[in-house]
Structure 1
């Protein structure tokens, strides 16, 4: 394993993040505050509690997942797309670095950035509501797995994209709607039976449900099923990335 190469890629990507640290820091703080004003105040005044948890606290795991998933995808996709756009990816491919080391560098940096944003969201939320974490180790595990798995997805999107518009296509048209329809701001038990069944086909439901369980000890789906779903998604992304580097799809052409 070429740890020097992994470290060089990781430090390069993190340096780009720290150059815009204030923007990266202020954006999630402002967006989280806005969500609390709109959902916590407006809707929270009508929905006092959800399964014994105040509505303001109930939406915190969903807010964290929303920010972490979108940030992991955007950082990873832009990180690998920009070398493709400038042509410097060929220098990377010709270097004595294998695909796993490239992935570890780019995906590791994107996951670190998303984790930072998730922590910022949690700290911001603590100023609005009283938070208690019933299972802190499970919370950290779900947070890390989510950052990693969606950074891998973002890496795939960055390789697939042929222009900057396509970088936003999947996150805006597919991922973000799935997050909003995955129980971010409500419990799927509040839906009619037919829609509860349909919602279970949304993979994001299992992430949000498991992450919410780590806070309040309640979940819409079994916690074991949530862990299996995110593990399977991570393995699927790794398999796709292996195939991409094996065939050179959208990299060497």
Structure 2
């Protein structure tokens, strides 16, 4: 195939789509950035009041310190998923998805444009929560590069899940079902609120096949320096799953699955 008249990569179109996806959540920052910060704070407050005083150390650190990375990462991935899935579903319901499909953008460029918004939103949420925790609790970051890596990968992975879910769902209730019965259970059952080593063997096995566990565990290592597993293994698993999901999203966009009549 020859070179397109605007180059091998349509940088203008890709940048425009990425800008649109970023402006979508910036325009309603009280819902997309402030609300997750408040929710994460409420989680920490409730757990510290209800369980914290009677709970000993977990993996050698105070229970509240152990909770912080899990709650932050869970908030990041939920927002990254919401950014891409809501963008596509709203466009399909309103009938303007054609405005995204008609421009000269290759399927890979569409995937990258959508992911840019998801990763940016996840990163903004992570930075906001981290700053708030540093100001209020004095909680720093043990390994910043590891923490940043898993935040970015978490945004990309769940952004890709959001693309796939958004393409599959034709109505808001279908998207709600995917969120309530797939995304939320996987996020909660991933070691967010507990150490996997405390689980029975069967549940440990189930948890370790959940890719979100490796996101939570890797981010925990990056933030407080302890983890249930190897961060290198977690990096490999999350990278592989992210690439596979991006490939699936690319294939769905390429074929026009549930997008083109």
TM-score by length of 1: 0.93
Distance, in Å, in 2 between the alignment partners of 1:213 and 1:24 is: 26
- Tell me the equivalent position of 2:100: 92
Aligned-partner SS, 1:88: coil
Structure 1 unaligned blocks of 5 or more: none
1:41 CA drift (Å): 2.0
- Tell me the equivalent position of 1:109: 117
Aligned-partner SS, 1:59: helix
Matches within 5 A, 1:55-204: 55-204=63-212
- Tell me the equivalent position of 1:44: 52
1:7 counterpart = 2:5: no
1:154 CA drift (Å): 0.4
Which residue, out of 214, 217, 220, partners 2:225? 217
Q: Is the 8 A contact 1:110 1:151 kept in 2?
A: yes
Task: Give the root-mean-square deviation of aligned CA atoms.
Answer: 1.6
TM-score by length of 2: 0.90
1:97 CA drift (Å): 1.5
Distance, in Å, in 1 between the alignment partners of 2:245 and 2:203 is: 28
1:249 CA drift (Å): 0.8
Q: Is the 8 A contact 1:80 1:106 kept in 2?
A: no
Structure 2 unaligned blocks of 5 or more: 1-8
Q: Is the 8 A contact 2:25 2:83 kept in 1?
A: no
Q: Is the 8 A contact 2:111 2:246 kept in 1?
A: no
- Count of aligned residue pairs for this structure pair: 253
1:200 CA drift (Å): 1.7
1:38 CA drift (Å): 1.0
Q: Is the 8 A contact 1:209 1:221 kept in 2?
A: yes
Distance, in Å, in 2 between the alignment partners of 1:183 and 1:164 is: 29
Which residue, out of 15, 40, 63, partners 1:32? 40
